[in-house]
Amino acid sequence: MYQILIKVLTIFLKIIQTQFKSKKDIILENISLRQQLSIYQIKKISPKLTNGDGLFWVALKQVWERWQDHRTIVKPETIIHWHRNRFKKHWNKLLNKNKKPGRKRIKREIRDLIYRMAVENNWGAPRIYSELLMLGFTDVSETTVSRYLRTFKSKHPDKKKQQVMDNLSQESQGCHIRDGFFIIPTISFKILYVFFIVDHKRRIIRHFNVTSHPSALWVIQQLRDAFPFDKVPRYLIMDREKIFSSQVKGFLEHQLRVKPKVTSYQSLWQNGVVERFVLSARTDLFNHIIVFSEDYLHCLMKEYIDYYNGDSCHLSLGRDSPIGRKIQQKAFESCKVKSISKLGGLQHRYEWKQVA
């Protein structure tokens, strides 16, 4: 604005000077100026014009009918474009005089919870959004959570979860059932095998056990323990592990009356529920700890399955946990969201608690 005022004042002073010049001086000045402008036209040089230049030509157009006869570096379309742009800016300024640009921000309480869950659990937007729904926050979308989470991580690139756990607490019906193995190395590089059975309908882990020497007889015993006679499924989906031999399949068909379904060769997607559980177990727990012994691994798995079945939210279950979680509402104004530590602080569950 200051530069524009100086420009207008300079033009005004030049106009006053022309009033006291002789006619001969004015003619010679015009000739010299036209000669200099012809250089721009011959060399096709496009000078950069400022806002003050635009204001001058817009004003000149209003008071001088023959302005087009003396233009050299400014086209009529440019001046019309300047005028329209100034009108748009003026109108937008009137409309947004009392408004802040952009969408309305969500409540500070929800923003703080998003950042808190990201730091405490290293969760992404889907899991944070699921936990917010369990706390009764229905006026926020997963897209909004993702946007705030992305902004938070860009401002705090060093706030990543880095926890090393020395120890964890030692006390810690569908028609289709899936089973599977995954391995965990101990601190001495001994290989331990984790066997588990998943209910396909609700993703509930029905049974698990740990061993260092799996065999067909050991698997048969696990199937006996997992399925009481009144809760036998119709099908059992298994992969092509050698341990699921004909002896295991015969036990399922003739004694439990369960039909075994074997996945196709190199088709892990056909047993996707099992593969997803293994990924969750490693991401949530086993990638952050070192297992010392078979008994220790058994305690860890028991604690993790309790968390997985009762607390962890799943997209395939409508963002509910396998066993089912009740959606909480804020009962009193004094209530605050408290984090309940799970798996030794690697994961958390969030509930409304009244502050004393």
Three-state secondary structure along the chain?
A: CHHHHHHHHHHHHHHHHHHCCCHHHHHHHHHHHHHHHHHHHHHCCCCCCCHHHHHHHHHHHHHCCCHHHHCCCCCHHHHHHHHHHHHHHHHHHHHCCCCCCCCCCCCHHHHHHHHHHHHHHCCCHHHHHHHHHHCCCCCCCHHHHHHHHHHHHHHCCCCCCCCCCCCCCCCCCCCEEEEEEEEEEECCCCEEEEEEEEECCCCCEEEEEEECCCCHHHHHHHHHHHCCHHHCCCEEEECCCCCCCHHHHHHHHHCCCCEEEECCCCCHHHHHHHHHHHHHHHHHCHHHCCECCHHHHHHHHHHHHHHHHHCCCEHHHCCECCCCCCCCCCCCCCEEEEEEEEHHHCEEEEEEEECC
148 and 114 assigned to the same domain: yes
266 and 155 assigned to the same domain: no
55 and 15 assigned to the same domain: yes
Within-domain flag for 103? no
Mean pLDDT of 14-18: 63
The neighbouring-strand residues paired with 291 are 186
24 and 150 assigned to the same domain: no
Q: Give the pLDDT band (50/70/90) at residue 174.
A: very low
| Per-residue pLDDT tens over the stretch 300-337 | 999 999 999 999 999 889 899 999 999 988 888 888 99
CATH at 193: 3.30.420.10
Within-domain flag for 65? yes
180 and 248 assigned to the same domain: yes
What pLDDT shows up at residue 170? 34
What pLDDT shows up at residue 160? 47
| Per-residue pLDDT tens over the stretch 98-135 | 666 666 788 888 999 999 999 999 899 999 999 999 99
Would the pTM count as exceeding 0.85? no
186 and 312 assigned to the same domain: yes
Q: Give the pLDDT band (50/70/90) at residue 165.
A: very low
What pLDDT shows up at residue 161? 44
pLDDT exceeds cutoff 80 at 171: no
149 and 272 assigned to the same domain: no
116 and 14 assigned to the same domain: no
What pLDDT shows up at residue 338? 92
What pLDDT shows up at residue 62? 62
Within-domain flag for 101? no
Domain count, the chain: 3
65: domain range? 2-95
Within-domain flag for 168? no
Last residue of a domain, one of 73, 95, 117: 95
Q: What's the whole-number average pLDDT of the chain? A: 79
